Amino acid sequence: MIREIKLVGQKMVAYSEVLICGVLFFLLTGGPILTQAATPSQAASPSQAPVQKASTSDLFKIPIHNAKGEKMTLEQYQGKPILLVNIATRCGFTPQLKGLEALHNRYSARGLVVLGVPSNDFGGQTPEANEEVLSFCQSNFGVSFPVLEKVVVKGADKHPLFQQVIAQDPAQAEIKWNFEKFLLGPDGRLVKRFLSAVEPESAELTSAIEALLK
């Protein structure tokens, strides 16, 4: 009887975390989650200063660390499509880590690189240290794709990697929540951007990946 009560309590806590994540998302984004793709007709918000665009080749030279603290760049991935995702450990979208791992298993042999970059910018939903984030992803979702260090992904202090990627979006719109997905071409060019609700294994995302791998 006591064990059953404990199990029910655990489920209620898990449900509460998902519900809180959804409410925070709605309040911060102002409405339902839609797929966002860069279109020429989009313009930067008047209150948001445009970011200077650099050559896409510069993206591969930006220094960053992996989750183990080792300094690196994305140069090792130049020439391959990259799916860059700002991940979190305590978000309602965290189960998407399983789908991202499925994409890695399905397409890595054909060249796709899935990169998870933790962020604590949205509701404080990634409070763990870098190696704890990596351990969480591996032990709970079997993640084997690269997980990088926790960085800031929005606002004036966002990491140069995300500055560079977002600068390629004609709207230069800030990331709205955890698990936005940026599909980059082999040259580092932003091909398409997907908001949080787009599942990793959805036809919408996989078709865009397939088009790059042809």
Q: Is residue 6 part of a domain?
A: no
Arithmetic mean of pLDDT over the chain: 83
Q: Is residue 42 part of a domain?
A: yes
Q: Is residue 164 part of a domain?
A: yes
Q: Is residue 178 part of a domain?
A: yes
CATH assignment at residue 41 = 3.40.30.10
Q: Is residue 15 part of a domain?
A: no
d(CA 204, CA 210): 10
Tokens of 212: 């790059």
What are the pLDDT digits (tens) for 9-41? Answer: 444 444 455 455 555 555 555 544 333 333 333
Count of domains for the chain: 1
Domain that holds residue 197: 34-213
How many alpha carbons lie under 13 Å from residue 63 in its C-beta half-sphere?
Answer: 3
Residue 91 among the catalytic residues:
yes
Q: Which position among 59, 91, 97, 183 bears the catalytic label?
A: 91
What is the value of pTM for the model shown? 0.79
Q: Is residue 154 part of a domain?
A: yes
